[in-house]
Structure 1
Amino acid sequence: MLTDTKIAAIKPPEKGQQEHPDHKVTGLRLRVGAGGAKTWTLRRRVREKVLNRKLGTYPAMKLAAARIAAEKLIEALERDGSGAGIDRTFRAAAEAWIEAKKRPDGIRRQLEMHVLPEWGERKLGDIKRAEVRELIQGLEGEVLPNRVLATIKTIFGYAISQDWLEASPADRIEPPNKEKARDRVLAMGEVARVWNAATLLGYPVGPWVQMLILTAQRRSEVAGMRWVDLDLDAATWTITASDTKAKRAHLVPLSPTAVEIIKAMPVVGDYVFSTTARGPIRGFAKSKRLLDQWLESKGSGLTEPWRFHDLRRSAATHMVRLGIPELVVSRVLNHRVQGVTGQVYALHSYAPEKRHALDAWAAEVDQAVNGVRGGNVVSIGRK
């Protein structure tokens, strides 16, 4: 009978491979090659076929772990005849659920933004309850964590209905308590500290944070900024209706500072801020942790907790303080426009006023960062 001691003592054959069966789990074998590699496999007859499946390598997978993996695969083989469910990734399960249930594009975007970067290639059975809780706790906002948790639970439930999974790691995880409406506004000194810490992060997270500050747009909208939507000669950024929370196209005038930052970006794909050249920047919670670490390392951490969305609220609050009418600030933020005329012509209406507001805000950031008034260009590299 195999033991870890006996396995460690097995010498490789001079040529070819040798198999050492486990007498506790029928079909589990340790395959030892001439080069010394030791591989766990399961050989099992399923209906009319004999399947051979690799489970892992020794010593990374010890005997006890190999037996557990073999028993799980045997159960899967008995359920569906192929064991495909045991290897199915969260991404594959999510795609199958979206297709089967005809879920809207918004659900797909929610998963792509908040879940798939963490779990996309993870096997369904490998995701633990603690990881579900950690992911949900890392999301910001009053509604988003609850919605993402509901989506995750539904996907795991669908996987169970298809015999890809026995139990859901999201079961009995309660939705986060509804938070009180946030009113956190960063003082200009705090804005400057966040700006300087972002400079230290480098591309793409650092410039992305600085654009959050300067444009006052939502984090997902800035993350999804595409080169095709920019007109740097006219200093404008058009967010298409499909990319805004409000489902309305939105024209964002760009201050000279914002244009300077964008022109300094490498072009690595369709998106201005990207780590893969295939999609926009992801993992906001991780980016926030990195930013806070830089703030702490420089001894300039913020005394009160803050979130990325607070940058948007702070920009709006300070624009009002600078004398910008609330109606104009509302247009900058792309809040709901009342009336048919306002909705139809919302894209270009108030464009000069919005430009003035964002230019004034950039000048205020300039003064906070560099301590000089009189321009609206912030030196990107200065701290």
Structure 2
Amino acid sequence: MHQSFKPLTDAMIETLRSSVGDGPRVEISDKMQKGLRLRLGPRSATWSMVLEVDGKRTRHAVGDWPEVGAEEARRIARMVGQPQRGRAAPATVDALLADYAAVKAPTLRRERSTMNSLKDAISSIRNRHPATLSRRDIADIVARKAKFAPSHANRQLAYLKALFSWGVSQGLIDNNPAQGVGKPAREAARERTPTVDEIAAIWNASISRPHPYGPIVQMLILTACRRQEVAEMRWNEVRLPPDSATGEWTIPAARTKTGRSILIPLSAPAREILDEAKKYKSGELVFATYAGVSFQSWSKAKIALDRVINFNNGNVRDWTHHDFRRSFATYACDELNTPPEIVDRCLNHIGAGTSSTVARVYARGQLLQQRRLALEAWADAIMNAVEQQSGPLRQARETD
């Protein structure tokens, strides 16, 4: 049932709500603000704004009464219905994300994962008008995510802040509802450092995993690079001289966390992985999936890998792909006596030792040979441990 009233007041709504009782829900129009509606039912009272967009009628949630009073509902409704100059204002959060993706996504370092995270974040508000959102809405979204993925909830909040901040900068929305929302989870720096024997157990288990995940894990171990850097490795970034058992890989600045390109010396085992990957070559990506895109199913693939590790009695607990970087740094410093500045450069960290122009040139040039020696010694240690473990594994399989 639809009714039209003179300008609604909170007192009037209280009276109307009591008169509804257990009867059917009614919808009331506010005569002061065109398009503003209040739906009254036995247990709820909800504001919405009805607009004509491209000849189609759309409804946008404004909030629940009494949390959103009559005056506040009119203020939000005016923002929703306000005509925009220049580019058409998005009628929904989904439309705002589409605009953002078209303009900003190509410039994001982790485009695919960022956009997937944003789509997940706005799933409950995708059809709402951006002007109707509050900090409470955003806080609720990241709080729900934090219950089972605390670290990702923090990343998701950062992505949402960037999305709405861009909308404000483009004049598409007036306010950033994520501004002022605090991180939902406290992140502590990981200290887990898998030993060489544990990494060897992971390597042996990865041998049974299909392309591209198995080889990706092995390349992560040997290069101590970040997982997305390896997953998005391209053939035009690697140099594999036919007269050499090793190679080099240049990661462009656009794909590194620090925004600085780095040349990675490739040991003989790393070169063998790339030579084997040529069998699956179908495009520019070295470790492309069968769909021709970069690998993304990290969680599911790791769960399957952990099952193999347990089956092999590997006894490796609480490890992540990123831990390999910490393991390399620990081994290089403690066992190889590699200077910290060499290790930092291997990991493409930005430190005081590489802050000046002269130091950066030195790091690109003279440090290359020292980094090559460190990574080759690391590869030798891993492969020796792999070989020591693979013998008993073969015997166990033959016995079975």
TM-score by length of 1: 0.61
Is this contact kept in 1: 2:146–2:185, CA < 8 A? no
Distance 1:153 1:299, change over 3 A: farther
1:212 to 208, 220, 228: 220
What do residues 133-188 of structure 1 show as CA deviations (whole Å, max 9, x unaligned)?
44896486xxx86344222245368789969xxx9899978432031x33221112
Distance 1:145 1:290, change over 3 A: farther
Match of 1:258 in 2: 270
Which residue identity does 2:367 align to in structure 1?
Y
User: Shift of the alpha carbon at 1:207?
Assistant: 1.0
- SS at structure 2 position matched to 1:366: helix
User: Shift of the alpha carbon at 1:323?
Assistant: 1.9
TM-score by length of 2: 0.59
The answer to whether structure 1 residue 347 and structure 2 residue 364 are counterparts is: yes
User: Shift of the alpha carbon at 1:252?
Assistant: 0.9
User: Shift of the alpha carbon at 1:260?
Assistant: 0.7
1:95 to 101, 115, 122: 101
2:209 to 201, 209, 224: 201
Alignment of 1:69-108 (within 5 A): 85=91, 88=94, 92-95=98-101, 98=104, 105=107, 108=108
Is this contact kept in 2: 1:320–1:329, CA < 8 A? yes
Match of 1:152 in 2: 160
- SS at structure 1 position matched to 2:296: coil
Match of 2:332 in 1: 319
Is this contact kept in 2: 1:216–1:312, CA < 8 A? yes
Is this contact kept in 1: 2:121–2:141, CA < 8 A? no
Distance 1:240 1:349, change over 3 A: farther
What do residues 26-57 of structure 1 show as CA deviations (whole Å, max 9, x unaligned)?
xxxxxxxxxxxxxxxxxx995895789xxxxx
Distance across 2 between alignment mates of 1:255 and 1:359: 5
Distance 1:50 1:137, change over 3 A: closer
Distance 1:130 1:321, change over 3 A: same
Distance 1:361 1:168, change over 3 A: same
Match of 1:273 in 2: 287
| Paired-residue identity, % | 31
Unaligned runs of 5+ in 1: 1-23, 26-43, 53-74, 374-381
Distance 1:45 1:98, change over 3 A: closer
The answer to whether structure 1 residue 371 and structure 2 residue 388 are counterparts is: yes
- SS at structure 1 position matched to 2:364: coil
Number of residue pairs the alignment of both structures matches: 300
Match of 1:247 in 2: 259
Match of 2:376 in 1: 359
2:240 to 232, 235, 239: 232
Match of 2:320 in 1: 307
What do residues 238-293 of structure 1 show as CA deviations (whole Å, max 9, x unaligned)?
11222222222211111111011111111132221222665432244444444334
More deviation, 250-259/278-287: 278-287
Is this contact kept in 1: 2:121–2:156, CA < 8 A? no
User: Shift of the alpha carbon at 1:194?
Assistant: 1.5
Which residue identity does 2:295 align to in structure 1?
I
User: Shift of the alpha carbon at 1:318?
Assistant: 1.4
1:175 to 176, 184, 188: 184
User: Shift of the alpha carbon at 1:236?
Assistant: 0.6
Distance across 2 between alignment mates of 1:349 and 1:148: 40
Distance across 1 between alignment mates of 2:51 and 2:332: 71
Which residue identity does 2:346 align to in structure 1?
V
Which residue identity does 2:268 align to in structure 1?
P
Unaligned runs of 5+ in 2: 1-24, 27-49, 59-76, 127-137, 391-396
Distance across 2 between alignment mates of 1:372 and 1:296: 14
